Amino acid sequence: MRVCTVKASALRHLWFLIEETQTSTLLGFSDAELIQQLLRQVEQDKLLTGEESNTMQAYIRSRVPLIRDLAQARMA
């Protein structure tokens, strides 16, 4: 079984996008909308294979609580 990983540069870019995205956007979207919005932005800026896109989507999904916690902390 082959494990697909995402390039470190794509992960750094994702976290850069999260930091640059308005707090209201990060908190206003549903989980599914937030995942799709972030994935769309990463795919627009980085060339990802189909497998990498799937892996990135799963990664973002697993980090949604952290993303929302970070957004709430920025409001304080």
pLDDT per residue rounded down to tens, the chain (76 residues): 455 677 888 899 999 999 999 999 999 999 999 999 999 999 998 878 889 999 999 999 999 999 999 999 998 8
Question: Could you tell me the two tokens for 17?
Answer: 């996008």
- Give the pLDDT of residue 67: 97
Yes or no: say if 14 and 60 are a contact pair by the CB < 8 Å rule: yes
**Residue 4 belongs to some domain of the structure:** no
Q: What is the DSSP string of 2-13?
A: PPP---HHHHHH
Q: Decide if 1 is inside a domain.
A: no
Is 54 among the domain residues? yes
74 in a structural domain = yes
* Domain count across the chain: 1
Q: What is the pLDDT of residue 75?
A: 86
Crossing angle (nearest 10°) for helices 50-75 and 8-20: 30
In a domain, 8, yes or no: no
CA distance between the termini of the chain: 45
Model confidence pLDDT, tens digit, residues 25-40: 999 999 999 999 999 9
Tell me, yes or no, whether 51 lies in a domain.
yes
Query: How high is the pLDDT of residue 3?
Result: 53
DSSP state of 21: S
pLDDT of residue 6: 79
The reply to whether 19 falls in a domain is: no
What range defines the domain where residue 46 resides? 30-76
